[in-house]
Amino acid sequence: GKLKLRAEAADRERAEMQINVETYRKRLGTLQETVKKHEEMIQTVQQRLKEKTEQAVAAGNEEKAATARLGEASVELEALRKTKAELEETIRTQANQIAEHTAAQEGKLEKMRAAEESAQGDAQE
């Protein structure tokens, strides 16, 4: 009878151990699922961070490029201003030369007219 009782106790103990093992397996499975979910979340966050970093770098590069373009445009504008000033100076110089030339021509014409009138006056006398 004692052997039978001992055997039943051992069977019960084995059955309890079996239940405990099953419970631990389930818990382990749940933990593994949780760990897997966390890893996926971490990967998602890392991916988002990578994308944001790439966007920030791209925006930074775009800003640098825009600044460079602005610099080039400003240099171009300065060159155009200089060219415009040089052209205005050339126009002024040529206008002055034309005015002087015209005045000289008018002076000659005036002398020629005076000489003609004087000649005509002499002829009429």
Q: Exposure of 110 by Cβ count < 10 A (0-12 exposed, 13-18 middle, 19+ buried)? A: exposed
Tokens for 51, please give them: 């994308």
Q: How far apart are CA 61 and CA 54, in angstroms?
A: 10
pLDDT by residue for the chain (125 residues), tens digit each? 888 888 899 899 998 988 888 998 899 899 899 999 999 999 999 999 999 999 999 999 999 999 999 999 999 999 999 999 999 999 999 999 999 989 889 989 899 889 888 888 877 77
Q: How far apart are CA 34 and CA 23, in angstroms?
A: 16
Q: How far apart are CA 40 and CA 9, in angstroms?
A: 46
Instruction: Name the pTM for this structure.
Output: 0.43
